A and B are shown apart, each in its own frame.
Chain A
Amino acid sequence: MSVRQVGIVGVGHTRFGRFEGPFVEMLSQAAVEALDDAGIRTGEGHGVDQVFVATMGASMLNRQSGVASALVDTLNLRPAMAETVENGPASGASAVKLGYMAIASGMCDVVLVVGGEMMRTVSGWEATDFVATMLHPEAEYNYGLTLPTFAGMFTRLYMEKYGVEEKDLAIVSVKDHQNAMHNPVAHIQLVPDLYSITEDEDARIINPYVAEPLHVYDVCPVSDGAAAVVLCAMEAAGRFRKKPVRIAGVGQATDTHVVAERAVSTDLLAVRLAAQRAYRMAGLKPADIDVAELHDAFTILEIAESEEVGFFPRGEGHLAARRGDTRVGGKIPINTSGGLKAKGHPLGATGVSQIVELVRQLRGEAGGRQVEGAKAGLAVNFGGFGNNVVATILAREE
């Protein structure tokens, strides 16, 4: 069976932060923006065959299940097929992967993928607890272990092995916040001063520890938000308003559920394998990538992932950040959207949001954060503490 090529012809994105309104309304706003972007008119003849909705916590946080069915109805896309996809914080990229598969297989021509999360309906403690439910119940969750806990322990290992310093993490954070200032949908619209959050006598007050050695400015905020993309068969792309951006490669890999069981505690094996699979499928190598969105729920992850996907040698990601290689205008700009750190991290939305940013970059629509001449982009969406990772490569069609 031959596999059909798949492109993205529409993108939509709510402003991340706090959304006042029902969960499905938030999803709908992103969805309608993506449909409009593609030039799809709602109502009869819309042509959408399938809808995938990515969310990790709608059932737990918003007391709503069957979200995809609800979205299809409120958008009047009936009788399109509809499923809700849950893969932790990697739900968004998983949903895009499923959309890709639905079209590549020949089952569908047009798929709408919407990712969303409404997390600010609960307290910070509840949100932290909810996210921790993806950890192993007996060996991790019951101890009070959380994602920031594992990120803190991972950071210490990285510092001791590779010489990463707290200031390196802050450099990543400041860079991401600077990028977010050019992204109108980013949650945090401020740039911390590097000296003030690292060396100033009040630095520990402005930027206290969350999980040592990680500080507040090393950790993503809790955000509401939704993002959407319209996928189509490349052979059908001519009927849409925007030129398609092709999905060139998709890779996914899993690792141990229990973090302590990993053979090399500083490896993010699933990131490496997922990226390798995506490169192989796309026929590209790390040097061919012009822009990347890496899952930086914690600043250390941007550094470690930049090594695992092959941009920099092992243990040198922090040196690249120091040199400015990952800034817009640098060797390989990372998290031009502001990343999870500054744009925000509504879990189910994040993987879709990363792909929206790459589409905007490859179309040349990224405004003040545009990477000039970008032809290929890589997104890494990271579930659990790296136990389920999806990598997606997009390519601009000439």
Chain B
Amino acid sequence: MEPKMYAYQCTRCGELHHPRHFVCRKCGNRDFAQVPLEGEAALVTHTRVYNLPEGYMKPFLIFGIARFSNGLCVSGQLEADHPESGMKLKATVGVVKEGVGRDYYGFIFKGAD
């Protein structure tokens, strides 16, 4: 089954969070409903990084912050040849880090067709 990413919606005021918080940042409530976080987003900013931390065997990676249509902003990896602020992206989920004995999944944004 393809892994999914989620937002956490406050059951009292409806505020969306990503990642999970223990207390709602708007109303102080502690109960959340898990809702899928997927679809189109817009690129807020990005950078191509050449000095990657230990464990990444690539010459560079592109990272970005993207805003979903529900207003949530998240960081993720970016696969786009010519990224530009404001461009439309499609949120996919994939392996963002190969760990020892496990892989880590997260957002990999791609240019929307």
A residues adjacent to B (C-beta < 8 A): 123-126, 128-129, 132, 136, 138-140, 142-146, 148-149, 152-157, 160, 208-214, 258-261, 265
Contacts and interface: CB of A to CB of B under 8 A. Distances in A.
A56 to B, nearest CB: 16
Contact of A156 (B51, B54, B75, B85): B85
Point out which of B48, B49, B63, B76 has the most chain A C-beta atoms below 10 A from its C-beta. B49
Point out which of A128, A140, A154, A261 has the most chain B C-beta atoms below 10 A from its C-beta. A261
B48 A209 contact: yes
B49 A148 contact: yes
B110 interface: no
Point out which of A125, A142, A149, A152 has the most chain B C-beta atoms below 10 A from its C-beta. A149
A208 B56 contact: no
Contacts of B45: 153-154, 156-157, 160, 265
B36 interface: no
Interface of B: 17-19, 25, 44-56, 61, 63-65, 73-77, 85, 96-97, 104, 106-107
Given A258-B19, A265-B44, A265-B65, A143 B75 contact: yes
Contact of B53 (A129, A152, A156, A212): A129
A153 B47 contact: yes
A140 B75 CA distance: 7
Secondary structure at the B interface, as helix, strand, loop or mixed, is: strand
B50 A125 contact: no
A143 B65 contact: no
Contacts of B48: 152, 209, 211-212
Closest 6 CB pairs of A and B: A152-B47, A129-B53, A139-B19, A260-B73, A125-B54, A142-B104
Nearest to A135: B75
Given A144-B97, A153-B63, A260 B51 contact: no
Given A140-B75, A153-B45, A260-B73, A148 B51 contact: yes
Contacts of B107: 143
B50 A210 contact: yes
B104 A209 contact: no
Given A126-B54, A139-B74, A259-B75, A211 B47 contact: yes
A396 B73 CA distance: 45
A149 B55 contact: no
Contacts of B25: 261
A144 B53 contact: yes
A211 B49 CA distance: 4
A144 B47 contact: no
A153 B46 contact: yes
7 contacts: A139-B75, A144-B52, A144-B53, A145-B63, A145-B75, A209-B50, A260-B75
Contacts of A160: 45, 85
A258 B2 CA distance: 25
Contacts of B61: 144
Given A143-B63, A143-B96, A156-B45, A211 B74 contact: no
Contacts of B76: 143
Given A129-B54, A138-B19, A210 B49 contact: yes
A263 to B, nearest CB: 10
Contacts of B74: 139, 260
B92 to A, nearest CB: 14
Nearest to A212: B48
Contacts of A143: 63, 75-77, 96-97, 104, 106-107
Nearest to B51: A210
